[in-house]
Amino acid sequence: MTKPEAWKEQVIEDGLRSLKSRMGPIGWTWTLFLLAVIAVGVYAYIQQVRYGLVVTGMNDKYVWGLYITQFIFMVAVSLVAVIFSSILKLANYEFRRPLTRIAEFISVGAILFAPLAILVHTNHLETVFPLLLSIVGYGRVQSPIIWDVLVVNTYLIVCILLLYIPMIPDLAYCRDHLDGIPGWQKKLYQVLSLNWQGTEEQIAIWERARTVLILLLIPVAIAIRTVSSWLFAMTHRPGWDSTAFGAYFIAGAFVTGVASVIVLMFVLRYGFGLKRYITDRHFDITGKFLVLLSLIYLYFNISEFLVPAYKMGESEGVLLQLLFVGEFAPLFWTGMIVGVVVPAVVPIFKKGRSPGVLAVVGVAVLVAHWAERLAIVIPPMATPFSPIQVIPAEWQSYSATWEEWAVAMAILAGGLLTITILMRIFPVVPIYDLTKGAYREAAEGDGLELVADNHVVQEVKDV
Amino acid sequence: MSETTRNHRIFAIWPGLVGVFMLALLLTPATVGAEEGLTGKVSLTYLKNTDGDRELRAKVLVTRDAEEGEFPVENMTVQFFADAEEISEPAVAEAGEDGEDAEEAAPAEPLVEMKPALLGEAVTDADGVALYVVKGDEKIAQTADHMVAFEARPVFEGLEDVKGRVSVQEAEIELGLDEEEGLVMATVRKVSGDEIEPVAYASVEYYVLRTFGDIGFHGDFTMTDDDGLVGEEFPDGIPGDEAGVVQVMVRIQGQEQLGRTEKLIDVPWGIARAPLERDRALWAGRDSAPWWLIWTVNTLLVAWAAAIVYLLWSLVGIRRAGGRREA
């Protein structure tokens, strides 16, 4: 057996191992926990349908709350695929190869459930289909909400294709190499692998489709994030009235996305025994990448807050007071320090890029970015440009109810459960891709010079 | 019994089952009122609008023992009443035992009572609200203390005893403009019998009408004087129409006895805005969306859809190529 053949056998063995084994106690505990969160969320949603949106903390003044926060957070997370599967591939960064499937799992899980956050805000889900149909007849093309509906659905389709099309050869490996699995799973691999034999004709069609897909992904991903930001920026409110909101949102989404990949990298490396593919070097490069993205995001934050703070216009001034030293200061500074400064500083140090530390930073960034999104959504509603008169005292502030928390967390749990299920059904590393490119060359041991990821190749050689 | 015969019998049952199902469907709404433990309440409100008509709104909510909360019922008929004088004949005095002639006894006064008289009916909407309008020129009887009373009763099985009442003294608002001082003047009067009297110390609210809600500009203590007169300064910088006209609604509400009343006036002191070019503008209706936007959005959608169709077609191509290899 040649070196590349041995390497291929090794990748197939490692890639399919998690699909052959049964779920362990940690996996079951995690899954049952997610199901319990979803069950509580469903119960809370039933209460909401029964009694109306009055069970939430939203009112005539605070018309948006946790649901919209959850939506923009999950859309942000879903943007990660565009980095690892599209931009880094186009730039020929070979180190991305083992990480693409992780990014695609996260994207699909997040974008499948993000729209649900909007739909539960409409309260009655049974009206959703007629509502979507009514867009054709009554939709106003000038409305950013219409743009959002169109682009979210397009992105959802693209993300599913992005997960599926590159995975077709791997599904053929599953079909051919996995024995002793349930019949439905075998059938699933047979159907989804599309008679993949690895013929030249199939590979040619497949490669063309992948190229189209990664080129398509970039504008659609930028569009979804920009349009989501325009839902805010097109509204006449302090804090949202910014021409740079689209770019600001995209920069933040990239940080959130990379943080989520780091966390899942850690889980897979230690939980699925994939040290061979998710190496210290991957954490090292991803950590540096996180620093770069965080600095860009820091720049946008300074720009977003310094300009209005310099002028201190009437409503903007009140908002900035609320954010910097007022009611929302804990939320705001948590978002800024933990979500922007920490990922920009900690991974600068070598120890900060070690798997354990970086995973902790990743979790902290995700929590802080959630808080930061809440600080983007809620405070501007406290300081509208247009005065709102004669409203009850209890509507002067927003406090999310347990029903809102339960539903919002259930949506998040739904996304996480989807990722968990995908990890149990499909290979978590791209088997075919890991037998190509720099990884194959490294396995052949020809010592090819690679500028960007020489160390990755070296590490593969060492294995 | 052969298999065919049994099948035929099964088919023969179907029309019957469908009939029972249809009958159940038809009977379902009618059985709501017949439920045991059905209670309800009616909230009746009064508003004398700017045209002088009285708007009576009855909100009907029902409660079922089996379920928590109150529910509106759509398409429920509600009858509206106004108290009116009802004159009944006095009892005929009996002749005295001493043979006094009944004709010589003092004639008894006819009895006058205020009893609800039917005005008309209206049907509830999805929120359980029925609206009935009593025209301004329709005379409504007043009680001795110059109040008018209205009543609403749902016509619904199980809710026969449910009714809502409202009793108010009718008021009028007269509006004018003080050009020199820039004040919107309001005079509040109440209708007492055939007389119209000024109302002193009535709180008056001023609102600029806007599409998504009215903007108030009255102070906390904007009250009428002894002559029922009050003036509020019109604020600067309020955008009006192309002539600078702003619609101002003056309201009295939440008073002890006076019914909620409102009156509209056009105030020409707003900022005149430039004529809006509504054709093909971003803020125009759906039919007048800008061409460039329609083209951009549709081009993007078509391009994305074409790429997705290409990808799906590629999947078909991969499958076919694999099939040829197998063959």
Sign of CA dihedral A51, A53, A55, A60: negative
Structure tokens at A58: 């939203």
Mutate to test the interface with B, among A46, A136, A138, A141 (most CBs of B within 10 A): A141
Query: Which of A84-88, B137-141, B223-227, B262-266 shows the lowest mean pLDDT across its residues?
Result: B137-141
What local confidence, expressed as pLDDT, does residue A390 receive? 66
- CB contact under 8 Å between B310 and A195, yes or no, is no
The closest CB to that of A195, out of B289, B293, B326, belongs to B326
Query: Which of A225-229, A454-458, B201-205 shows the lowest mean pLDDT across its residues?
Result: A454-458
Mutate to test the interface with A, among B203, B238, B314 (most CBs of A within 10 A): B314
Rounded to whole angstroms, the Cα distance separating A170 from A173 reads: 5
Burial of B292 (0-12, 13-18, 19+ CB in 10 A): exposed
pLDDT value at B3 more than 50: no
Return the amino acid letter for A281: R
- Phi and psi, residue B248, nearest 5°: -115, 130
What local confidence, expressed as pLDDT, does residue B93 receive? 54
Q: What is the pLDDT of residues A254-265, one digit of tens each?
A: 999 999 999 999
Closest CA to B60 of B84, B79, B76, B49: B76
- CB contact under 8 Å between A389 and B290, yes or no, is no
Q: Which stretch of DSSP H or E encloses residue B64?
A: strand B54-64
How many residues make up chain A in this entry?
Answer: 463
What local confidence, expressed as pLDDT, does residue A460 receive? 52
Are A290 and A263 spatial neighbours (Cβ–Cβ below 8 Å)? Answer: no
Beta bridge mates, A155:
none
Side-chain half-sphere exposure of B175, counting CA atoms within 13 A? 21
pLDDT value at A295 more than 90: yes
- Cα B18 to Cα A305, B6, B15, B25, distances in angstroms: 67, 19, 5, 10
DSSP labels for B242-299? TT--EEEEEEE-S-SSBPEEEEEEEETTSBPPPPP--TT-TTS-GGG--HHHHHHHHH
Enumerate residues 131 to 170 of chain B having a beta carbon within 8 A of any beta carbon in chain A: none
Mean pLDDT of A418-447: 83
Q: What is the pLDDT of residues B153-175, one digit of tens each?
A: 999 888 888 999 999 999 999 99
Beta bridge mates, B115:
B84
Place of tokens 């990884």: A439
Are A130 and A56 spatial neighbours (Cβ–Cβ below 8 Å)? Answer: no
Strands B260-267 and B38-48: parallel
- In chain A, residues with a C-beta closer than 8 Å to the C-beta of B321 are 195, 197, 199, 201-202, 205
What local confidence, expressed as pLDDT, does residue A454 receive? 44
Query: Which of A325-339, B260-274, B279-293 shows the lowest mean pLDDT across its residues?
Result: B279-293
Query: Which of A122-136, A147-161, A312-326 shows the lowest mean pLDDT across its residues?
Result: A122-136
Rounded to whole angstroms, the Cα distance separating B82 from B115 reads: 8
Provide Rg for chain A, Cα atoms: 23
What local confidence, expressed as pLDDT, does residue B23 receive? 55
Q: What is the pLDDT of residues B204-250, one digit of tens each?
A: 999 999 887 788 888 888 899 999 999 999 998 888 988 999 999 99
Pairwise pLDDT comparison (A86 vs B66), residue with the higher score: A86
Provide Rg for chain B, Cα atoms: 34
Enumerate residues 142 to 171 of chain A having a beta carbon within 8 A of any beta carbon in chain B: 142, 147, 150, 154, 157-158, 161, 165, 168
Enumerate residues 65 to 104 of chain B having a beta carbon within 8 A of any beta carbon in chain A: 69
What local confidence, expressed as pLDDT, does residue B311 receive? 97
Confidence of residue B29 (pLDDT cuts 50, 70, 90): very low
- In chain A, residues with a C-beta closer than 8 Å to the C-beta of B310 are 209, 212
pLDDT value at B11 more than 60: no
The closest CB to that of A201, out of B290, B304, B321, belongs to B321
Structure tokens at B200: 């002193």
Mean pLDDT of A220-228: 95
Burial of A462 (0-12, 13-18, 19+ CB in 10 A): exposed
What local confidence, expressed as pLDDT, does residue B108 receive? 67
- In chain A, residues with a C-beta closer than 8 Å to the C-beta of B297 are 141, 147, 150
The closest CB to that of B322, out of A142, A197, A220, belongs to A197
How far does the CA of residue B56 sit from the closest CA of chain A (Å)?
23
Confidence of residue A392 (pLDDT cuts 50, 70, 90): confident
Closest CA to A378 of A418, A432, A323, A325: A323
Sign of CA dihedral A221, A224, A227, A228: negative
Give the nearest chain A residue to B210 (CA atoms).
Answer: A386
How far does the CA of residue A256 sit from the closest CA of chain B (Å)?
26
Rounded to whole angstroms, the Cα distance separating B188 from B167 reads: 19
Structure tokens at B22: 């249809």
Give the nearest chain A residue to B305 (CA atoms).
Answer: A154
The closest CB to that of B322, out of A51, A195, A387, belongs to A195
> What is the DSSP secondary structure assignment for residue B215, as one 8-state letter?
E
pLDDT value at A43 more than 80: yes
Mean pLDDT of A386-396: 74
- In chain B, residues with a C-beta closer than 8 Å to the C-beta of A222 are none
DSSP labels for A22-89? PP-HHHHHHHHHHHHHHHHHHHHHHHHHHH-GGGSS--SS----HHHHHHHHHHHHHTHHIIIIIIHH
pTM for the whole structure: 0.73
- CB contact under 8 Å between B318 and A138, yes or no, is no
Q: Which stretch of DSSP H or E encloses residue A362?
A: helix A355-377
Return the amino acid letter for B294: I
Closest CA to A209 of B252, B167, B309, B1: B309
Residue B126 at interface with chain A, using a CB cutoff of 8 Å: no
- CB contact under 8 Å between A150 and B297, yes or no, is yes
- CB contact under 8 Å between B304 and A220, yes or no, is yes
The closest CB to that of B307, out of A51, A150, A216, belongs to A216
What local confidence, expressed as pLDDT, does residue B98 receive? 53
Structure tokens at A353: 């890029």
Rounded to whole angstroms, the Cα distance separating A460 from A441 reads: 10
Residue A194 at interface with chain B, using a CB cutoff of 8 Å: yes
Confidence of residue B326 (pLDDT cuts 50, 70, 90): low
Confidence of residue B111 (pLDDT cuts 50, 70, 90): confident
Mean pLDDT of A195-206: 94
Rounded to whole angstroms, the Cα distance separating B169 from B145 reads: 9
- CB contact under 8 Å between A140 and B285, yes or no, is yes
- CB contact under 8 Å between A202 and B315, yes or no, is no
Mean pLDDT of A163-190: 93
What local confidence, expressed as pLDDT, does residue B16 receive? 60
Give the nearest chain B residue to A52 (CA atoms).
Answer: B69
How far does the CA of residue A293 sit from the closest CA of chain B (Å)?
28
